[in-house]
Amino acid sequence: MHIAAIFGLGMAAGGCNTGVKSPAQISLKDIYDFKAKGNFTLLHMCDLHAHIKPLYWREPSTLISAPNLVGTPGFLCGEAFAKHYGLEPSSLDAYFDTYINFEELAKKFGKMGGIAHMKTLTNHIIKERGAENVLFLDSGDTWQGTGVALKTGGEAIVKAQNYLGIDVMVGHWEFTYGKERVKELIDMLDAKFISQNIVGDDPFADEYEELIFEPYTIEERGGAKIGIIGQSFPFTSTANPKEFTEGWSFGLRLETLQEYVDELRNEKKVDCVVVLSHDGFSVDQEVARQVNGIDFILSGHTHDPSPQPITINDTVIVIAGSHGKYIGRLDVDAKDGKVKGYEYKLIPIASNLIPADPEGEKLVHELYAPFAKEFNEVLGQTKGMLYKRDTFFSTFDQLINDAIMDEMQCDVSFTPGYRWGTTVLAGDDILMDNVYEMCGITYPNVYTFELKGEKIAQLLEDIADNVFNENPLYQQGGDMSRLGGVTYSIAVSNKAGERISNLKIGGKPIDLNKTYVVSSWGGNLQKAGENLQKDKIRPVYDVVRDYIKREKVVDVSNKGNVTLLDYSCGCPTKGSMGC
């Protein structure tokens, strides 16, 4: 199957729509509707990526994994997702959770997320439950992802978290502000920052083999003692530049996780053990298999919306999407050291339906005001929808590759397979703010250097194994790097090192002995290259801005550059290689 961008002509056509509520028919009551349970409520947010304003965010139309993981939660999209969770076509949930008919439904339901809208919802829940019975947990990837975050060194987002009333958090992209800045931001943050899996590994530092953060915290809500253990992203030092966290060692550290679970249960006598995690949804399913005694894992990192919790080895796992699109509400009945029951709902933050809290609108306005002129500059328009996500290819990444190849005159361009970004609808203006939403990172430079064909082929296999390894513990939770100037075929279920074939550069079969000029940003590839062209180094957001301004109207090809050999569709269902 050739993987192209799919703009969604899915299952919802004509007569299937009976019974689906239009926005006018959906009331706040429907969104708030919840059968309250037990003695306390955990509110959960993950992967906000600094989106304090509402946005459009389209879920993937391709989400491919090793065959053993196909159709399992964490690897569900589109029609397979709708079928698994029983979504009604064209409903609000279908709009939030899948790519199907995205553009049409975007016009119907409007933007998603935004802290002012989240706050209205959390205020409602706090009023219903009582402030002393509600705890708000944040799985991280909160401080990075927009221009306002980048320009304020994360501070704008810490203010947003304080406004939202976050109680506890863990991190991943947070660390890309560097160790010192992370500590400064934690000082400004009202919430506790915890992690049991970050340990000093510099033998000359005071913190050698010591925990960098508190491993857990015990909070009392609704008369229950809740033990919360922090699990930051285990692969921060390989997924992001090492220099930001020099001297800190990450990793899953399941032995110590088990020790903290036992300590909380046996010594601290808590009523409920929660792991607040940035491991990723599929990795946390593995964690639940290997560590005993966890009641709930509130997961993050892989951006999956999961309308229903999953239970593995008596551990209930939830994950609440990304970009502020959802808040997870978990009501728990726990006392005498035991969880007796729970109720969960993934609540969509439909910004046209949940009114904004005026205080939040004011805060967002104040935070954006110093940068309004730069961020609101209209760079151009887009002919088709620009989106990020999908396993191999997405249109906004293609635009970035087009911009890099145009300016750098390289043979190959690499753009990282992050899962954060934004969506711009067809015909809409592209603002500078949108460019920052796609590439606002603290190491934005585009590097241009030389790589042997052999090395390029080997790197692609290496990246493919990070994405498609059959064991979630060996994945890093991102998608394939997006390549400009390159086409290839891939057999995902092949052995590591043997997945990629028919690799072509500039339309010609790759010459393994030839040296190619490669541009890349957001990764470590330049370290593998030679003859770095120092005079060409420039931040990616400037390269993309200038390109859009030159083009005025961008018309990105949605053809895709990857042929998938062993699957017949982008969203396969369980037990099959197709839909």
Interacting residues toward another protein by CB under 8 A: 172, 204-206, 233-240, 242, 249-252, 255, 416-418, 459, 462-463, 465-467, 469, 473-474, 476-481, 496, 522-525, 527-528
Taking CB atoms within 8 Å and a gap of at least 24, the contacts of 502-511 are 502/563, 503/456, 503/457, 503/460, 505/411, 505/412, 505/453, 505/456, 506/411, 510/453, 510/456, 510/457, 511/453
Q: Min. distance of Cβ 409 from another protein in angstroms?
A: 23
Query: Residue 361 to residues 53, 115, 118, 151, 258: CA-CA distances in angstroms?
Result: 9, 8, 11, 20, 42
In 312-452, where does DSSP find H-type helix?
358-368, 372-375, 395-408, 432-439
- For residues 338 and 527, which CB has a smaller minimum distance to another protein in the complex? 527
Q: Min. distance of Cβ 160 from another protein in angstroms?
A: 23
- For residues 465 and 542, which CB has a smaller minimum distance to another protein in the complex? 465
- For residues 129 and 482, which CB has a smaller minimum distance to another protein in the complex? 482
- For residues 54 and 523, which CB has a smaller minimum distance to another protein in the complex? 523
DSSP category for residue 7: -
Strand partners, 245: none
Cβ atoms of 144 and 173 closer than 8 Å: yes
Q: Min. distance of Cβ 251 from another protein in angstroms?
A: 5
- For residues 203 and 575, which CB has a smaller minimum distance to another protein in the complex? 203
Q: What is the 3-state secondary structure (H, E, C) of 461-493?
A: HHHHHHHHCCCHHHCCCCCCCEEECEEEEECCC
Q: Min. distance of Cβ 527 from another protein in angstroms?
A: 7
d(Cα 266, Cα 148) in Å, to the nearest integer?
45
Q: Min. distance of Cβ 321 from another protein in angstroms?
A: 18
- For residues 464 and 564, which CB has a smaller minimum distance to another protein in the complex? 464
Give me 256's structure tokens. Answer: 């110590």
Cβ atoms of 149 and 141 closer than 8 Å: no
Q: Min. distance of Cβ 249 from another protein in angstroms?
A: 6
Residue whose tokens read 């180094």:
537
Residue whose tokens read 């191999």:
392
- Classify 228 as helix, strand or coil: strand
- Classify 17 as helix, strand or coil: helix
Give 161's contacts (C-beta < 8 A, 6+ positions apart). Answer: 138, 142, 169, 189, 190, 191
Closest to 389 (Cα-Cα) out of 444, 337, 325: 325
- For residues 5 and 252, which CB has a smaller minimum distance to another protein in the complex? 252
- For residues 215 and 477, which CB has a smaller minimum distance to another protein in the complex? 477
Q: Min. distance of Cβ 199 from another protein in angstroms?
A: 10
Q: Min. distance of Cβ 414 from another protein in angstroms?
A: 9
Q: Min. distance of Cβ 339 from another protein in angstroms?
A: 30
Q: Min. distance of Cβ 523 from another protein in angstroms?
A: 3
End-to-end CA distance of the chain: 12
**Rg, C-alpha atoms of the chain:** 23
- Classify 91 as helix, strand or coil: coil
- For residues 360 and 417, which CB has a smaller minimum distance to another protein in the complex? 417
Strand partners, 40: 332
- For residues 370 and 474, which CB has a smaller minimum distance to another protein in the complex? 474
In 202-280, where does DSSP find H-type helix?
236-239, 254-262
Q: Min. distance of Cβ 209 from another protein in angstroms?
A: 11
- For residues 187 and 255, which CB has a smaller minimum distance to another protein in the complex? 255
